[in-house]
């Protein structure tokens, strides 16, 4: 019986903590974002990023035809420890109809 009481008190403590902590964190996040808005003003456009993507975050060279990849519905990435290749598949994926 003491074991069940202990489990119930843990659940109650967890629920009360969540009901207090989640709104406090959310309020902090809202105030943080409002502070950014007050300092910088509203977004007027999407930030333009002009840098060429020639190396990934690990320093590996990236090989890709980005103009072609922008229009592709599907992209295949071949990654090795030395380099990374982005490709558009030659043929569309085959969809298998389920047997009736």
Reported as a single tens digit per residue, the pLDDT across 42-83 is 888 877 766 788 999 999 999 998 888 888 889 999 999 999
Beta carbons of 67 and 45 less than 8 angstroms apart: no
pLDDT of 100 > 50? The answer is: no
DSSP labels, 3-55:
HHHHHHHHHHHHHHHHHHHHHHHHHHHHHHHHHHHHHH----SPPP------B
Read off the DSSP letter of residue 72: -
Beta carbons of 61 and 54 less than 8 angstroms apart: yes
- Report the pLDDT value the prediction gives residue 2, as an integer from 0 to 100: 60
């Amino acid at each position: 019986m003491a074991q069940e009481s202990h489990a119930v008190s843990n659940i109650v403590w967890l629920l009360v903590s969540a009901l207090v902590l989640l709104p406090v964190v959310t309020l902090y996040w809202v105030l943080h974002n409002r502070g950014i808005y007050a300092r910088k003003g509203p977004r007027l456009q999407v930030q333009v990023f002009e840098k060429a993507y020639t190396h990934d975050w690990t320093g590996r060279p990236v090989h890709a035809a980005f103009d072609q990849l922008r229009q592709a519905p599907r992209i295949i990435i071949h990654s090795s420890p030395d380099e990374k290749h982005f490709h558009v598949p030659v043929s569309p994926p085959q969809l298998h109809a389920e047997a009736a």
